[in-house]
Amino acid sequence: MADMVMVGIAVLAIAACAALLYALERGTGR
């Protein structure tokens, strides 16, 4: 089950990073 937890955390981290980059791009209006 530890592997599932690690995978879940990794997915959340990647999703958060992608959302942050998307928000920054939309915010700057490039």
1-30 per-position pLDDT tens digit: 789 999 999 999 999 999 999 999 998 766
Given this model, what pLDDT does residue 27 score?
84
Given this model, what pLDDT does residue 30 score?
60
Given this model, what pLDDT does residue 18 score?
96
Q: Which two tokens stand for residue 16?
A: 């958060």
Q: What is the dihedral of CA 6, 12, 16, 19, to 10 degrees?
A: 140
Domain boundaries, the chain: 1-30
Short-list 25, 23, 5, CA closest to 15: 23
DSSP string, the chain: -HHHHHHHHHHHHHHHHHHHHHHHHHHHT-
